[in-house]
């Protein structure tokens, strides 16, 4: 049974991926600073898979990826226990776009310095297989409503996106110039929403949600009176913004598929879009959510959000062909599962 090191594994995407990795038989060591996540997510993951906390299969460490000594001790322990990591899934990082504009250095430090520290320790301990959480936010904004391929132009429009792109570049450099063989997959996420069917884990943003889906579920809870729709004058099929929403479990499947794809190879560096390839407007998201959950969802159309774009949808053919991966959960399931999580956990992981 091989062991995977997961950074940021207690977060939204991390916890769903940990669940799947455990179900597939992997052992996990998870490092998370818990600044934007809760350890309870992993306890619940373990309960879902094993009906109890299974410390044999999932070991949690509270800490920061910038802590070189801590990382070295984790990798060293793995060697001593004869459980060297077969690969790393690297989720840890800050991800609020607005905050990154206000505090760019905080983002460069956490995301870029953190990744460099991690990569140095991986290299030292001869663990050179990594799946990295990148983002579709790195693509250049376009006016034409064309699906983005991995070769579309890159031009991040905020520090958060810049840090994701720079980490991809660092990984590229390692692959091209290092004397050792690296196996690297940078996964460019589109818009992950939904939650695991159990309703025990899900997205748990702190403060006012920036993204539309957690905002919708909190309007559903009546924490907010209505959703603001940012513009109905975009060049899209109904004027509202179009995005590629992907169920977080399909996204998790993409990580496992990418890791197992790398395991089979000798060396590789690849960037892969993870989206469904289906564009959904804000109005369609609202009406689907209302229909399947049978709840009211008041909204008001307001002006466009600064820096926003009308259309962002993946061409996902590379993921399908290379990873033999196919998203299987539709928008209705995303809305049902996301609401199931939120209504059962109105305060997230806090009681
Ligand atoms: C945003 C970030 C992106 C980040 C991603 C993480 C911006 C400009 N982009 O992407 O960098 O990687 O989140 O998931 O912040 N909307 C509303 N009302 C709301 C919130 C959003 O109408 O209260 C609309 C937006 O205009 C957009 C769609 O909903 O059309 C999705 O927005 P959001 O969930 O914020 O995601 P992105 O803009 O795709």
165: left (phi over 0), alpha (psi -120 to 50) or beta: alpha
Element of type H or E holding 131:
strand 129-135
Q: What pLDDT is recorded for position 215?
A: 98
Q: Which of 137, 163, 227 to mutate to test the pocket of ligand 1 (most atoms within 8 A of CB)?
A: 137
Round to whole Å and give the CA distance between 130 and 127.
Answer: 8
Closest C-alpha to 28, from 192, 274, 50: 50
- pLDDT tens-digit map of 134-146: 999 999 988 789 9
Q: What pLDDT is recorded for position 333?
A: 98
CB 205 within 8 A of CB 11: no
Instruction: Establish whether 103 is a catalytic residue.
Output: no
Beta strands in the chain (DSSP E): 3-7, 27-32, 58-62, 85-90, 129-135, 183-189, 191-193, 227-230, 242-243, 245-247, 268-274, 280-281, 299-302, 311-312
In this structure, what token pair is assigned to residue 318?
A: 């590379």
CA distances to 180, 181, 183, 209 from 176, rounded to whole Å, are: 10, 9, 11, 39
Mean pLDDT (the chain) is 97
**pTM here?**
0.97
Q: What pLDDT is recorded for position 294?
A: 98
Would the CB of 97 count as within 6 Å of ligand 1? Answer: yes
Would the CB of 262 count as within 6 Å of ligand 1? Answer: no
Q: Say what angle helices 282-293 and 331-344 make with each other, to 10 degrees.
A: 60
Region 336-347 average pLDDT: 97
Q: Say what angle helices 212-220 and 331-344 make with each other, to 10 degrees.
A: 50
Q: What pLDDT is recorded for position 222?
A: 97
**Which residue is associated with the tokens 């996106």?**
161
CA of 114 from ligand 1 middle (Å) equals 25
Residue 351 pLDDT > 80: no
The atom of ligand 1 lying closest to the CA of 213 is: 34
């Amino acid at each position: 049974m091989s062991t995977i090191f997961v950074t940021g594994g207690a977060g939204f995407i991390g916890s769903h991926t940990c669940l799947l990795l455990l179900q597939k038989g992997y052992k996990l060591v998870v490092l998370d600073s818990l600044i934007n996540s809760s350890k309870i997510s992993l306890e619940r993951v373990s309960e879902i898979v094993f009906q109890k906390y299974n410390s044999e299969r999932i070991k949690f460490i509270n800490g920061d990826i910038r802590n070189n000594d801590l990382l070295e001790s984790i990798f060293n322990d793995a060697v001593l226990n004869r459980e060297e990591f077969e690969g790393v899934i690297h989720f840890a990082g800050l991800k609020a776009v607005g905050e990154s504009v206000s505090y760019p250095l905080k983002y460069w430090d956490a995301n870029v310095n953190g990744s460099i520290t991690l990569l140095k320790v991986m290299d030292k301990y001869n663990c050179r297989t990594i799946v990295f959480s990148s983002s579709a936010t790195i693509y250049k904004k376009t006016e034409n409503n064309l699906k983005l391929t991995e070769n579309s132009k890159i031009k991040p429009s905020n520090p958060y996106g810049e840090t994701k792109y720079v980490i991809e570049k660092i990984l590229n450099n390692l692959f091209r110039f290092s004397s050792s063989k690296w196996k690297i997959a940078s996964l460019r996420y589109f818009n992950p929403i939904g939650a695991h069917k159990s309703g025990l884990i899900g997205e748990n943003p702190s403060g006012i949600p920036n993204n539309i889906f957690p905002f919708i579920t909190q309007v559903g809870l009546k924490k907010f009176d209505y959703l603001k729709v940012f513009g109905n004058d975009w060049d899209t099929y109904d004027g509202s913004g179009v995005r590629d929403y992907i169920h977080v479990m399909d996204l998790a499947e993409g990580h496992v598929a990418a890791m197992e794809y790398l395991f089979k190879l000798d060396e590789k560096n690849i960037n892969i879009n993870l989206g469904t390839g289906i564009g959904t407007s804000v109005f369609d998201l609202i009406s689907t959510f209302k229909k399947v959950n049978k709840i009211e969802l008041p909204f008001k159309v307001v002006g466009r959000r600064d820096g926003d774009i009308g259309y962002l949808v993946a061409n996902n053919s590379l993921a399908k062909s290379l990873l033999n991966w196919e998203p299987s959960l539709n928008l209705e399931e995303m809305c049902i599962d996301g609401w199931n999580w939120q209504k059962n956990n109105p305060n997230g992981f806090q009681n």
